[in-house]
Amino acid sequence: MLTMTPPVTIKDIQEASQLIHKVGRVTPLIQSMFLSRTVTHGDVYLKLENMQLTGSFKFRGAYNKIHHLTDSEKQRGVITASAGNHAQGVALTAHLLGINATVVMPETAPLAKQQATSGYGARVILAGQTFDEARAFMEKKATTDGLTIVDPYNDPLVIAGQGSIGLELLTQLPTIDTVIVPVGGGGLISGIAVALKHAHPQIHIIGVQSENVHGMTASLQAGHLTRQCAGSTLADGTAVAMPGNITFGLASDLVDEMVLVSEEEIAEAMKDLLQRAKTVAKGAGALPTAALEAHKIAAKWLTDKKVVALVSGGNVDLERVAQNIEHFFDHDPTGHFVG
């Protein structure tokens, strides 16, 4: 547990939760019979953050952060860098609060995500080929134009907003044993961990990342912030080469383990969530399911346990869904999904 005053407390999360629930949704928690009976022999529940406003948990942190800005900061306008989900959360929040928003996205950002972000009223600027390059451009523009930065993950108010999910889980399933969370920069798992560990320190919290990009896992293994990126990933929403110092500190204290999954395992999980759970999940949102299906988690945390797998978002491009379906058709000569 934390040995000094943490940057995010349970009080911060409780206040964020009250604020967010005035406009946001309490997302469903549904049991997956497929994952429960066939894969884990436990009771597995899916927390459907793909049904949150903007289709992602990111709305929570963005709303909490922007709402707490000073009048002067709001008047200057806000800016962020994002590949899509945080962008839409910032854009919708700015629209709801009457604030000008600028979003810097990588030039590789899918057109659908660019259009969704601009559709909420934000100004979209494309810069760089990667999130890190877009972020660097955003930081320079914030300084030049005097804009207020809304960090995607390394901010206590953003983390507290994401932590509101943990409070919902404690209400929806008070007897949780294990929670499995996608990890990019670490804001989501940090906030959830603060909320859950405060209530029940014995809850086992597992983070999941792609084998291709897993900056948080590499940093936790090294004991200090370090960069890791071996290529692109279907889980583009978690493609963060190095986490923030705040999220790294919280994860070091509160996250019990990290596991990695392959691109094929992510694609398989996306397909199974669509086919078996009737749930559209982007690559990042499918990471926990991928870890379960690939048996990357020890049975002692699953068998006869109450397990929550977070589906963090559903903003996946239709073209990518079609490619995924075609891939699995190609691997099944009968023309049916391999189930």
Three-class SS state of 283: coil
- If you search the block for the tokens 């999910």, which residue do you land on? 165
Q: What is the pLDDT of residue 5?
A: 80
Exposed/middle/buried for residue 271 (C-beta within 10 Å: 0-12, 13-18, 19+): buried
Full set of structural domains in the chain with CATH: 10-56+155-324 (3.40.50.1100), 78-146 (3.40.50.1100)
Asked whether 263 and 238 are in contact (CB, 8 A), the reply is no
Report the alpha-carbon distance of residue 208 to residue 214 in Å, rounded. 9
Give me the helices (H) in the chain, please: 10-20, 33, 58-67, 71-76, 85-97, 111-119, 131-145, 156-172, 187-199, 215-222, 245-254, 263-276, 287-293, 318-330
Q: What is the pLDDT of residue 129?
A: 87
pLDDT block averages, 10 residues each, the chain of length 339 = 77 98 97 94 97 97 98 96 91 97 91 91 94 91 97 96 98 98 97 98 98 98 97 90 96 98 96 94 96 98 98 82 60 43
Q: What is the pLDDT of residue 112?
A: 83
Q: What is the chain's alpha carbon radius of gyration, rounded to the nearest angstrom?
A: 19
| 312 is a catalytic site residue | yes
Order of strands, sheet of 148-149, starting from the edge strand that comes earlier in the sequence: 123-126, 101-105, 78-81, 148-149
Q: What is the pLDDT of residue 322?
A: 60
* Separation in Å, CA 124 to CA 6, 100, 116, 258: 34, 12, 10, 34
Three-class SS state of 306: strand
Report the alpha-carbon distance of residue 270 to residue 289 in Å, rounded. 8
Q: What is the pLDDT of residue 318?
A: 67
- Return the number of other C-beta atoms located less than 10 Å from residue 60's C-beta: 33
Asked whether 203 and 233 are in contact (CB, 8 A), the reply is no
Give 122's DSSP letter. P
Residues 6+ apart with CB under 8 A from 301: 177, 178, 204, 206, 307
Strands 43-48 and 29-31: antiparallel
Stated pTM of the model: 0.92
Q: What is the pLDDT of residue 335?
A: 41
Beta bridge partners of 79: 102, 149
Report the alpha-carbon distance of residue 182 to residue 260 in Å, rounded. 10
Three-class SS state of 32: coil
Q: What's the CA angle centered on 41, arms 35 and 47, to 5 degrees?
A: 40
| 58 is a catalytic site residue | yes
Residue among 58, 141, 197, 306 flagged as catalytic: 58
